[in-house]
């Protein structure tokens, strides 16, 4: 198509979609903008609660990563065993 590689057209479409998404988000006020003024800050108790929630989420993510690594190792061992097995006659 006019000498333009197909991958370049795909990149342009993705960039256009991202730009439109950002524009619509800004237009409808769905952004994660936090406005802080004097006296608008979160209390120490709220910050502590959020810190605990973040630590819990990080702990759970680390546990999930360990489980996924374990499952990947098991699957890799199974596939390697099947590949190295002698042919059946």
- Domain contains 62: yes
Structurally, how many domains does the chain consist of? 1
pLDDT tens, N- to C-terminus, the chain (89 residues)? 567 787 888 888 888 888 888 888 877 876 555 555 555 567 889 999 999 999 999 999 999 999 999 999 888 887 776 666 666 76
- Domain contains 6: no
Q: Which domain holds residue 83?
A: 50-89
Measured distance CA(89)–CA(76) in Å, rounded:
25
- Domain contains 69: yes
- Domain contains 87: yes
- Domain contains 24: no
> Tens digit of pLDDT for each residue in 32-53?
555 555 555 678 899 999 999 9
């Amino acid at each position: 198509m006019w000498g333009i590689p197909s991958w370049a057209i795909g990149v342009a479409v993705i960039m256009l979609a991202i730009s439109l998404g950002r524009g619509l988000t800004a237009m409808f006020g769905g952004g994660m903008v936090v406005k802080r003024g004097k006296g608008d800050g979160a209390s120490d108790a709220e910050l502590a609660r959020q810190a605990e929630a973040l630590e819990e989420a990080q702990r759970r993510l680390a546990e999930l990563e360990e489980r996924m690594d374990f499952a990947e190792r098991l699957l890799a061992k199974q596939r390697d065993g099947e590949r190295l097995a002698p042919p059946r006659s």
